[in-house]
Amino acid sequence: MPLRTKIECPSCEADVVVKRGGVCPKCGASITEHVARVRARERRIEQVVAVIGTVLVVGLVVVTSGATLLEGIAVYAVVGAAVFYLARRTFV
Query: What is the reported pLDDT for 18?
Result: 63
Q: Is the separation of the CB atoms in 8 and 15 below 8 Å?
A: yes
Hey, which residues does 15 pair with through a beta bridge?
8
Q: Name the pTM for this structure.
A: 0.59
With bands split at pLDDT 50, 70 and 90, how would you rate the model's confidence at 4?
A: low
Residue (of 55, 42, 44) closest to 82 by Cα position: 55
Radius of gyration of the chain (CA): 19
pLDDT, tens digit (0-9, with 9 covering 90-100), for 14-45? 777 766 677 887 787 888 888 888 888 888 88
Tell me the domain boundaries of the chain: 44-91
49/91 Cα distance (integer angstroms): 11
**Helices 69-91 and 32-63: angle between axes, nearest 10 degrees:** 170
Q: What is the pLDDT of residue 19?
A: 61
